[in-house]
Structure 1
Amino acid sequence: MTVQTKAKRAINKIGAGKMIDHSDIQSVDIQLAKLRTRFITHQPYRDLQEQFDRLLRRRRAVLSLDTYLEAKGIAVVGASGSGKTTAVNRLISRYSGQTDPQDRNAIAEIVSLQIPSPATLKYVGSSMLHALGYPLQRDKPAAFIWDQVRHLLRERRTLFVHLDEAQDLYSNTSPMARDAVVNTLKSLMNNKDWPVGLILSGMPKVIDMINVDDQLKRRMSIVQLKAVSVSSHSNEIATMLERYCQVAELAIGKDLQNCDFRARLVHAGANEFGLIIETVLAGVEDALLAGHAELGIGHFVTAFQRKSGCIPALNPFLASDYLAIDPRAVMGTVSFNGMLTESGGKHGA
């Protein structure tokens, strides 16, 4: 059976569904928005929560004794699409001590910001002041800005600072700038007046930044969001699919209730937990908008094709040799004897 025939059969199998009007589409959009806000707990998140709770209890105990102890930090590391930012945001949302950063007089136990571009210490410090509710009015030197940051962290009683995409602080900078970054991070944690813990989330290059300094290594714990494999995560993937379908009120088609589909789903999501969830939600969206009562393989076929623009032969939900497909590539690429070929090339036609 050709890939094109398999594609037609997969799409035909899910049927035409029922026509939905504009009000139904709005209802589906709201339902999908609710699905996207759901958080699927996984082991790395449980590890993160346990480590953070321990550091938070330790910090509050020190404050209760009115004594000094340097703060510690956590690095949450994973590839793009692993779900590291979502995991940290979920963690932070559990604590009422995080307040509106624009409320200057309120306690803000946790302050979170994404590393801006350009990721210079001066610009990052300015963004930190803004997150603390005190945007910089005039241009100031980096040293002055970070003195203000340390002062305001104490004023706001901030216990932890979360820096997302932390690898940008260290990548593509000079050795002198890298040293300044490491020293600045350490100065936040060992400040005698008000030490602040760090949560650094980012790509694996964050580890390179930590490893250059023995003091930073000693103060940081690591939570890694490793690549997902069907051999080790098959049950978790099946449970995740079941939960989403339950909330969406969709039956799970028989063609999704097997290890082959789960293996294809994992590969389509580039073996990253966050991307796998996005792929599932894309299939669910197709089913709901088509007015179908059952989620089937055809929904994943069309959802992946719409996202990547690939031809059927480079769709991991159809191709026999789907492991050769690069699921992150727009228009699709496939490896033949170590060589990549685009979907419009000789091998992809």
Structure 2
Amino acid sequence: MTTHVSPPARTDSVALLYADAASTQNFTVMETIRAKFLKTARDAHLSTAMGTLIANAVQRENTNLPPSFENRGRGSGLVLVGPTGVGKSKSLERYFNTHPVLAGYADPASASPLVSVSVPSPCTSMQLARALLRATGYALERDMAAHRLWEKAFDRLQAMRKFIVHFDEMQHVVHNMPEKDLQQMADTLKNAMYNRRITLILSGVATLVPFVQHDAQLFRRLAILPFEGITPEKHDDIRRMVGTYVNAAGLADFRRSEIDNADFIARLSRAALKAYGYSIVLTQLAIENALENGSDQLTNEHFATVFAKKTSFSADRNPFLAANWHMIDCAKMFEKAVEAPPPAPISRKRKAKS
């Protein structure tokens, strides 16, 4: 008699690791803090721009017929541009997830009309088309030419009734592209918007802008929305952010702390490379450090400690400690030492012959 042994139940490794991590002190506090999204004026601008984009996407081509997937106009596009760490991807993700129709986009089988693609680096036109197909849930089994891959991707979007496509970190495609390939990429995007009636959202750093301006027709179909870094005028946003996270962590009132001042906020902006998203990361790490050390108040020392751990910068290059913090380039791991000029040659005068 043959005995059949049932295979062991499949266990989710993430659940196991989560159970272990959740047993550590302050895990739940930090999980809650990191899940909190803080809106700024930029998010209001993004919401307005996205509203305009979607309104254009669903306008009827034939006004005598009701609105439908088949009865919509030509596509257009939005380009969200800003420095790394400024918060572009996070803000877009939140907008997508909270939109009553776009939500659920991460599942290709959902009714959401949106497909979002995280562009790999480096990336060619062919690789981008493959990434788009994968985002729709299509497993590509054989090699194809780039133009055939794009045709298949567009056909699949049509069959799935998807008409909004987001390419995140689009600069990975256009960096170092030869002139001929740049034009082909521009033509592909124009074809997507005009002939396939696809609405595009491109997000990336400022080096994406020259590509957008490379082709006049492409430029006319795309609107550019800057997602700017931290400026002195936006320091109040940083102050509110720190205060909100401090309160959420149950620490002493930020408004009565040593770091509720213009000098500290300016130092935090410098350390975060003037990127709002990175300033949030540093603040969360500083709060975690404070909790781990049993402190009931967030201090400058906590920020200095986590910055040193994250960058390995010495104290004289730590913007939370150095007196000349405004001269520190926090984007450079190693700065070339300023070498002293060589000594001037000694002038030796010849003695006159007698």
TM-score by length of 1: 0.83
The yes-or-no answer on 1:72 pairing with 2:76 is yes
In the TM superposition, structure 1's runs of 4+ consecutive aligned residues that sit over 4 Å from their partners are 22-25, 100-104
Change (3 A) 1:102 1:274: closer
Total equivalences in the alignment = 312
Q: 1:156 aligns with which of 153, 160, 179?
A: 160
For residues 112-127 of structure 1, what are the structure 2 equivalents within 5 Å? 112-127=116-131
Pairing of 1:1-349 with structure 2 (within 5 A): 26-62=24-60, 64-65=66-67, 66-95=70-99, 96-99=101-104, 103-104=108-109, 106-191=110-195, 194-229=196-231, 231-251=232-252, 252=254, 254-330=257-333, 333=335, 340-341=336-337
Cα shift readout 1:240-281 (whole Å, capped 9, x = no counterpart) = 111111111112262101111111111111111111111111
Q: Which amino acid aligns with 1:324?
A: M
Quick one: which amino acid aligns to residue 167 of structure 1?
A: Q
Q: Equivalents in 2 of 1:266, 1:164: separation in Å?
A: 25
Going from structure 1 to structure 2, the CA distance change for 1:183 and 1:82 (only over 3 Å counts) comes to same
- Matched residue, 1:337: none
Paired residue type of 2:37: F
Indicate the RMSD between aligned Cα atoms, in angstroms.
Answer: 2.2
Structure 1: 5+ residue runs without aligned partners? 1-21, 334-339
Q: Distance in 2 between matches of 1:34 and 1:57?
A: 35
Could you give the per-residue CA deviations for residues 170-190 of structure 1, whole angstroms, max 9, x where no partner exists?
111111111111111111111
Distance in 2 (alpha carbons) for counterparts of 1:24 and 1:166: 36
Letter in 1 for 2:235: S
d(CA) in 2 for partners of 1:202 and 1:302?
Answer: 31
> Higher RCO, 1 or 2 (CA under 8 Å, sep at least 6)?
1
CA contact (8 A) 1:98 1:109 kept: no
Q: Is the 8 A contact 2:308 2:318 kept in 1?
A: yes
Write 1 or 2 for the structure with the bigger share of strand. 1
Specify the code of the residue in structure 1 equivalent to 2:293. Answer: A
Q: Is the 8 A contact 1:44 1:223 kept in 2?
A: no
Q: What secondary structure, in the 3-state scheme, does the structure 2 residue paired with 1:299 have?
A: helix
- Displacement after TM superposition at 1:227 (Å): 2.3
Report the Cα offset of residue 68 of structure 1.
4.6
Provide the rounded CA distance (Å) in 2 between the counterparts of 1:136 and 1:89: 27
C-alpha distance in 1 between matches for 2:149 and 2:274: 41
Q: Structure 2: 5+ residue runs without aligned partners?
A: 1-19, 341-354
Structure 1 residue 103, shift from structure 2 partner: 4.7
2:22–2:28 Cα contact (<8 Å) kept: no
Identity %: 26
Q: What is the CA–CA distance in structure 2 between the aligned matches of 1:35 and 1:258, rounded to whole Å?
A: 23
Mapped to 2, the partners of 1:69 and 1:269 lie a distance apart of: 42
- Counterparts of 1:87 and 1:250 in 2: how far apart (Å)? 27
